[in-house]
Amino acid sequence: MSSYALEQEGEETLNPIPLTLISFQKCTLGCPILDSFFNGGIPCGSITELVSESSCGKTQLSLQLLLCSLLPRSHGGLNSTSLYIFSEPPFPFRRLKTLSATFKHPNPSPSFDPCDHILVHGVQTSEELLEFLDRVETLISQPLIRPVKLVVLDSVAALFRSEFDNHLADLSRRSSLFFKIASKLKALASKFEVAIVVTNQVVDSVGLEGLNEVQVGNYSCLFSSGRKVCPALGLSWANCVNSRVFLSRDEEKVADNKMWGSNSQALSENGGFEDGYGDFRTRTRRKMQVVFAPHLPKFSCEFEIRRDGVFGVKP
């Protein structure tokens, strides 16, 4: 929705938008625990960023969202086609196929294939992305049975990793590109009530005075796999997104219960508690935290990745 309105005389006027008409719509994530973490789901009309190191579940969660947006409104979906823009080829087609096999639409037509409603496009540079976003507007404004209501960009960091050095001129050019991209995405989001999800990577936080040390959001430090990390692309990009959610993973040593019960004498003889390969097994614990969001408090939530998707774990 835009504030511009064209009156009959051809004169443009600016009208405030009544708050009751602004879309409350959210896209479910397919799991009630995750939905309550997000207070209903991913909101339309703004950019939600998922930040994590690799193999934490960003792409999984994005693919799951692509499918969930197909669900009808009554089931928390957007009844929409979705658009997946990827910058790190190849497109994870096999995983999408696996997820769509277990995906259940409440009223499917006989030839219903979820993958028919997912549009995919690859970009390699930020210029390509900007040019594509101009074309996307034409695409979204076309009247389809299921209009596009979800756009996922996976990932934004990959577009900027290689072509910029650390010179001041390059940094300001890069920063200007962030705002251009964010501005186009937000214009799409607000004009067509689309939910935008952007994924981002992390960089190690070295501990020197400087850019990485500014606290952005609810947590002064973010940890993943035991290292202190911070989201890539810096403070400028942080100003461009509306909400940021951090996904992390940690290997946790859990005592192997089988060994404890029987033969404890053998354990102490082995003395295996220091290194513990024999006596402990490691378990991956995954957590998502709200770094900042205008509508979410400082929540965190544990989740797991199963064959049929990403699901929250009850505390």
Partner 1 sequence: MEIWSLPFSPSQRAKLLSAGYTYLHSFSHLSPSALAAGAQTAWDILCEDRTMNHITTSCEDLDGILGGGISCKEITEVGGVPGIGKTQLGIQLAVNVQIPVEYGGLGGKAIYVDTEGSFMVERAFQIAESCIQDIMDKVLQTDDVGVCQENLHVNAILANIFYFRICSYTEQIAVVNYLEKFISAQKDVKIIIIDSVTFHFRQDFDDLALRTRVLSALAQKMMKLAKKFNLAVVLLNQVTTKCTDGSFQLTLALGESWSHACTNRIILYWKGNERCAYLDKSPSLPLSAAPFSVTTKGIRSVASSCKRMRTT
Which positions lie near partner 1, rule CB under 8 A?
Answer: 1-4, 13-14, 16-20, 22, 24, 39, 43, 45-47, 168, 175-177, 179-180, 183, 186-187, 189-191, 209-211, 214-218, 220, 235-236, 238-239, 241-242, 244, 291-292, 294-295, 297
C-alpha closest to that of 299 among 7, 40, 125: 40
Distance CA 279, CA 254 (A): 9
> 262 is written with which tokens?
């029987």
**Cβ–Cβ under 8 Å, residues 152 and 8:** no
> 207 is written with which tokens?
């501990």
**Cβ–Cβ under 8 Å, residues 99 and 57:** no
Query: CB of residue 23 vs partner 1: minimum separation in angstroms?
Result: 9
> 138 is written with which tokens?
């034409």
Q: Which residues contact 285 (CB under 8 A, 6 or more apart)?
A: 249, 250, 251, 252, 302
**Cβ–Cβ under 8 Å, residues 218 and 291:** yes
Q: Which residues contact 257 (CB under 8 A, 6 or more apart)?
A: none
When the beta carbons of 82 and 242 are compared against partner 1, the nearer one is: 242
Query: CB of residue 195 vs partner 1: minimum separation in angstroms?
Result: 11
Task: Assign residue 134 a region (left: φ > 0; alpha: ψ between -120 and 50; beta: otherwise).
Answer: alpha
Cα four-point dihedral sign 55, 226, 208, 292? positive
Query: CB of residue 104 vs partner 1: minimum separation in angstroms?
Result: 28
Q: Which residues contact 179 (CB under 8 A, 6 or more apart)?
A: 236, 240
